[in-house]
A and B are shown apart, each in its own frame.
Chain A
């Protein structure tokens, strides 16, 4: 029971880290970045190559993967999304899907479709509390999630850049009038989101060590669900949504049915949205006539 709970929180922490990327980008650019899941996959592959082919130790390879994904995020934003700043959200959505196809197929060409066995990045002994054992990966994942959460909250609340970010998400035009560089702020958001995706990629692949070009797709969708679950655009909401989703998934697998676990996760999402149509912590938007 406790074991399931810890597994759930650990899986949920990964979802939460991914969901943060979704929710920040949504809050600022008002777009659903469907390519986010594939950035996770790229992060996984980069760290895999760094350790297996270049023989780098764990921490530099993770840093390398964060760096590459951050750059990738900025490049994607500049090339594909920036020209569409004024376009309808559906057009941007389709472009994001195009980027997602591109990343998946580029990975297919570079690394082939054969699944790669991901090395265990967290080679530490499991922690034993009483008669339950917590694997080191779960522990590191949960700690990483907490650290990221605290850092992000401090960043958005205390720093000037964070304040600019909140201002842009509130009202883009007014922020620009106040002398905030909107384009730079949006780029920064993509950079942070993609860097987080790299971390999530490493953690996800350490827990589920098969790496394929489609690895990021399903966790991406689930994390997106988590972001909506918690109220999209809200950082604590993404955290809460991610962790709840992870717990529901693991308990659904353990107690109800392994095959139907995804169906259970999505059913809970639908129930929540019926009761609270803007997610758990989402703001209610009143309509102007």
Chain B
């Protein structure tokens, strides 16, 4: 058998983890062993896994701190919902409708990513971070004033109110300003969510391990050195940013089509931060870490239910403690010493045998 390279092996392990996750929960689901609150979490988990992996492409691989990732998610969510409503009676099978909606969501988010990326990627460090934050807020604010309806003449868009859409009598309002999208048909399924996770993982892992991926990492490590080697900095930064935005858009469409209503406020600064927390806790630049952190931290508040009102407080304390334990030199040394003694004991025992 041909020996796989380390990166390829890593990629296959990641696909394997996703497949095992899918099989375990699918079997539990069919046996009825999952509580309803937990089975309702399955699609959000997949969504957040995609969000975390795609944000990691920007924060970890490309090395730019982005605080507005939820903005792309909301662009994808609302364009996906509009697409799904438009082709409701045209396209028969629901999986095809879902696939087309996700595709449209990804495309719209990619366009948004391109428009935003051109000015944003010229800035550096904290200034770049604050501008992505600003764009996230702008997207939320604009979607809050957006009204979209569909009737026999096609799409109607207004920034004022639902009445000024000027629709025929048979028209349906799809997006209703601050109330968001109402009456969405739930067409997302767990299987489709897992398939989307695999597709996004495939695209991002192949990008990271390709020639372009190496160029992106070179820019992250030393922009000036990379530039002097003839790497087009803007092109590769844009590549990472737009691919990440598209993946977030796809995740947004998947997420929105899992609920009957979605409001623009859902995708605010706090959601962006939540996803950033997944990325940082999972390990910056480590895709597998992002996946696991996203899944665990999405479920964690549910598991802390028994603490009721205290659960978010505990979540906050856990977050602070994990950051201190993994980043403080003294704490790290102490952990390392514990590990050493444990391992040494094991080794001694093995030697005894």
A-B pairs with beta carbons under 8 A, tally: 123
| Chain A residues, CB < 8 A from B119 | 270, 274
| Chain A residues, CB < 8 A from B276 | 94, 97
A215 to chain B, nearest CB (A): 15
| Chain A residues, CB < 8 A from B133 | 221, 225
Interface pick from A40-48, A102-110, A121-129, A176-184:
A102-110
Contact B315 A101 (CB under 8 A): yes
| Chain A residues, CB < 8 A from B234 | none
Contact A97 B319 (CB under 8 A): yes
Q: In the complex, what distance in Å separates the CA atom of A262 from the CA atom of B133?
A: 12
Interface residues of A in 237-255 (CB under 8 A from B): none
Closest to A229 in B: B130
Residue from A109, A270, A287, A289 in contact with B313 in the complex, judged by beta carbons closer than 8 Å: A109
Known: A91-B280, A270-B119, A289-B224. A259 touches B320 (CB 8 A): no
| Chain B residues, CB < 8 A from A105 | 312-313, 316
Residue among A93, A99, A287 with max Cβ neighbours from chain B (10 Å): A93
Contact A228 B273 (CB under 8 A): no
Is B122 located at the chain interface by the 8 A CB criterion? Answer: yes
Interface pick from B5-13, B321-329, B333-341:
B321-329
| Chain A residues, CB < 8 A from B269 | 217, 221
- Give a binary string over A211-230; 1 marks a CB under 8 Å from any B CB, 0 the rest: 00000010001001100100
| Chain A residues, CB < 8 A from B312 | 101, 105, 108
Contact B327 A88 (CB under 8 A): yes
Is B331 located at the chain interface by the 8 A CB criterion? Answer: yes
Q: In the complex, what distance in Å separates the CA atom of A235 from the CA atom of B142?
A: 32
Known: A259-B141, A262-B137. A94 touches B313 (CB 8 A): no
| Chain A residues, CB < 8 A from B142 | 260, 263
Interface pick from A7-15, A78-86, A163-171, A200-208:
A78-86
Known: A84-B324, A263-B137, A287-B224. A98 touches B316 (CB 8 A): yes
Contact B319 A98 (CB under 8 A): yes
Closest to A32 in B: B126
Contact B127 A99 (CB under 8 A): no
Contact A95 B320 (CB under 8 A): yes
B336 to chain A, nearest CB (A): 16
Is A273 located at the chain interface by the 8 A CB criterion? Answer: yes
Is B91 located at the chain interface by the 8 A CB criterion? Answer: no
Is B281 located at the chain interface by the 8 A CB criterion? Answer: yes
Contact A90 B284 (CB under 8 A): yes
Closest to A88 in B: B327
Interface residue count for A (Cβ, 8 Å)? Answer: 44
Interface on chain A toward B: helix, strand, loop, or mixed SS?
helix
Closest to B145 in A: A259
Contact B317 A278 (CB under 8 A): no
Is B29 located at the chain interface by the 8 A CB criterion? Answer: no
| Chain B residues, CB < 8 A from A88 | 327
Interface residues of B in 183-229 (CB under 8 A from A): 224-225
Interface residue count for B (Cβ, 8 Å)? Answer: 46
Q: In the complex, what distance in Å separates the CA atom of A273 from the CA atom of B273?
A: 22
Closest to A86 in B: B329
Interface residues of B in 36-67 (CB under 8 A from A): 59, 65
- Give a binary string over B3-33; 1 marks a CB under 8 Å from any A CB, 0 the rest: 0000000000000000000000000000000
Is B135 located at the chain interface by the 8 A CB criterion? Answer: yes
| Chain B residues, CB < 8 A from A94 | 276-277, 280-281, 319, 323
Q: In the complex, what distance in Å separates the CA atom of A267 from the CA atom of B324?
A: 36
- Give a binary string over B113-139; 1 marks a CB under 8 Å from any A CB, 0 the rest: 000000100111011011101110110
Q: In the complex, what distance in Å separates the CA atom of A84 from the CA atom of B325?
A: 9
Closest to A97 in B: B273
Is A266 located at the chain interface by the 8 A CB criterion? Answer: yes
A286 to chain B, nearest CB (A): 12
Is B158 located at the chain interface by the 8 A CB criterion? Answer: no
Q: In the complex, what distance in Å separates the CA atom of A94 from the CA atom of B315?
A: 13
Known: A83-B331, A228-B126. A257 touches B273 (CB 8 A): no
Closest to B124 in A: A277
Contact A228 B127 (CB under 8 A): yes
Contact B224 A269 (CB under 8 A): no
Known: A97-B319, A259-B144, A277-B124. A266 touches B135 (CB 8 A): yes
| Chain A residues, CB < 8 A from B134 | 225, 266-267, 269-270
Is A87 located at the chain interface by the 8 A CB criterion? Answer: yes
Closest to A227 in B: B130
| Chain A residues, CB < 8 A from B309 | 108-109
Interface residues of A in 149-186 (CB under 8 A from B): none
Is A232 located at the chain interface by the 8 A CB criterion? Answer: yes
Contact A84 B323 (CB under 8 A): yes
List 5 additional contacts besides A109-B313, A257-B145, A263-B142; criterion CB under 8 Å. Answer: A94-B280, A94-B323, A108-B309, A109-B309, A289-B225
21 CB contacts below 8 A, A to B, read A26-B126, A80-B324, A84-B324, A87-B328, A88-B327, A91-B326, A94-B276, A94-B280, A94-B281, A101-B319, A109-B310, A217-B269, A221-B133, A221-B269, A224-B130, A260-B145, A266-B135, A266-B137, A269-B130, A273-B123, A273-B131
Name A's B-contacting residues (CB within 8 A).
Answer: 26, 32, 80, 83-84, 86-88, 90-91, 93-95, 97-99, 101-102, 105-106, 108-109, 217, 221, 224-225, 228, 232, 257, 259-260, 262-263, 266-267, 269-270, 273-274, 277-279, 287, 289
Leading 8 A-B pairs by shortest Cβ distance: A266-B134, A87-B327, A98-B319, A102-B316, A101-B316, A263-B141, A98-B320, A105-B312
